[in-house]
Amino acid sequence: MSEAISVLNGATFDGFVSIKEAGLRGMISVRGDFAAASFTKAVSALTGADFPAVNEAKFAGDYAILWMSPDELLILCAYENAQADADKLAADLAGEHALVANVSDARALFAMSGELLREALMKLTPANVSEDAFKPGQVRRTRLAQAAAAVWMLEDGSVEIMCFRSVGDYMFKLLCNAANPGAELGL
């Protein structure tokens, strides 16, 4: 069995914020009817997390549920368990109209931390990431420069940034460039 290797193999950068490729994370894409109790229950049962409202991320241990669209969620879990978890959820939802797909390998994931991380993000995303508009437990699907991305804020105020695997290299360079010392906004 070969080791799975994330796209940048844990690269890091220290600028005016710290950036780290966050390594392997289980990700399960789920689509279904948010109004159906059977659907929301199955998702919460798997994760132990509350069902998220619009633009919310709900965390519970290794798990998180991220709101992606009115009929799409992303479940975060341990990488090793992703396929088993996806299979379990699919089984729980058997008979429902829903789609469950393990997409753990389709993504690159970055962690960004530091007091000025909003400033680094502001250089890249047109989304409002000010303190009034983007808080812990919120997720935004947006773009960072020219690549599609999702950004969510953890309870400790750091953020995780997800993009497609194929542009992981671009994203890392982009984040490093935005975090270059001397480019602080001083807001």
Contacts (Cβ under 8 Å, ≥6 apart) of 92: 42, 45, 46
Do residues 164 and 106 touch, judged by C-beta distance below 8 A?
yes
Q: Considering only residues 102, 151, 160, 179, which one is a binding residue for another protein as defined by CB under 8 A?
A: 102
Do residues 110 and 20 touch, judged by C-beta distance below 8 A?
yes
Rounded to whole angstroms, the Cα distance separating 59 from 50 reads 8
CB of 178 to another protein, least distance (A): 7
Rounded to whole angstroms, the Cα distance separating 21 from 168 reads 9
Measured from the CB atom, is 88 or 123 closer to another protein?
Answer: 123
Measured from the CB atom, is 4 or 54 closer to another protein?
Answer: 4
Does 80 help bind another protein (rule: CB under 8 A)? no
Rounded to whole angstroms, the Cα distance separating 34 from 38 reads 9
Q: Considering only residues 125, 151, 159, 161, which one is a binding residue for another protein as defined by CB under 8 A?
A: 125
Residues that bind another protein (CB under 8 A): 1-7, 24, 29, 31-32, 71, 83, 97-99, 101-107, 122-128, 130, 132-133, 145-147, 164-171, 173-174, 177-178, 180-183, 185, 187
